Structure 1
Amino acid sequence: MLGVLASDWLQILMVYSAILALFLSIRGALRSKKQKSHPVDLRPPLVSIPSIPAPASGSDYVLAKCVVLGYSGVGKTSFVRRWVNDSFGPDYGGTIGVDFHVRTVPAGSTNIKFQVWDTAGCERYRAISRAYYRGAHVVLLMFALDDPESLVEVKRWSDEVDRALGMDADPDRPPPYKVLLGCKSDLEQTVTDEAIERMRRDLGGLAYISTSAKRGFGIGDVQNHLVQKFMEANPELFE
């Protein structure tokens, strides 16, 4: 009797082991699929190039204020750290208020010194963030490619910038140049390309670039795009 029971338990154990091995194999395949990257999609902006405000000029640089906006958790701080310091950490805490960074990039006969303002995405910090829109040359509107809700929030951020700057409009100063950035392209994309294209057009035909701070994808494309547009819009500063 004990021999029969032992045999039954052995068969059950073998079946269980086979099921477990199959489960681990399927999970490994799914994880591998999630690690696929998405190609950078850099479309030329439909807005006119001369609309970019001219940066302030120094002795060996021009100064460009860059404000980073987006829903909480989309990867703004990770993007900024990768761009400014070429570093990445998975445990960055949420930004409290606004963080400030500087990135200097060669451009023609001089340099562009980007003042990068990394703003908090939480609702309670939005009033603080608004104070930093004034004088911006560039606004980077960010969403996460694995979070459709974050793309919807991009419209709110863009409208908020327009309202804030409209209250203090300067007829001699063009509005800031906006770029739409998709973050976390190393993860499985749940935001459809059609939704991104609709948002891009709803915002006036912005340039769109896909990025991954973790892998370093698209960061250089963002920098090169901004440098190119500044040089095209303000050639007298970069001769």
Structure 2
Amino acid sequence: MGRKKSAVFGFIKEKLQERIKNWDNKNLSKSDKEVLIKSGAQRLPSYAMSVFLLPAVVCQELEMAMSKFWWRSKGSNTKSIHWVCWNKLCAPKSEGGMSFRCLRDFNIALLGKQAWLVFSNFKARYYPSGTFLSASVGSSPSYIWRSVLASQSLLKSNKFCRVGCGKEDDILNSPWLPLPADPYIHTTNEALINQKVFALMKTGERAWDEDLIFDLFDRRDAENILSIPIGA
């Protein structure tokens, strides 16, 4: 990919400017502009953003071009006043915005979808021991891997696991408790370090070892673990 990533992705800005130039030749209402921005301008970089993490400056330039188009009254050379910043226009309409996309956030969300594929299909290559949530950049990573890994924090904050056989999920580092706001174990116990969830099950049975769990965990964690049905 090289170091000048902004130049590599410059073609997206050029295509967007070309589209906006064609739109500027028409007498468009605000409703028309809203449709063109949402269905045309913001979808233009979707394919690239689903694979690569676009540099922040590229996202800013694309949003600036859309903002100028939104506020311009008519003609491509007409100056305009930006009465509201782009971030406020990205807010939901119920909060006074226009529900436009923040391209950086949208980029991370698209990469998050790719991360779900990585969870199951590329484990041996990128994180042979552990899960995607505990994976690191590693040595000599590709730009695609760096891009997908950028969504790791998003997945950590919005994901909790369903327990199956328990052999993949780390007890302390995986978000496996049924608590969306905080699905991580709080108990600190040396016996739990580097241990997988299946170690908390009865040998040869699909059931929790209640005595072991109450012995190792504090009340909050123990009760939440035992509330989890063990999948097939």
Q: Could you state the TM-score of these two structures normalised by the residue count of structure 1?
A: 0.23
Structure in which a larger fraction of residues adopt helix: 2
Q: Could you state the TM-score of these two structures normalised by the residue count of structure 2?
A: 0.24
Structure in which a larger fraction of residues adopt strand: 1
- The answer to which structure, 1 or 2, has the higher relative contact order (CA under 8 A, 6+ apart) is 1
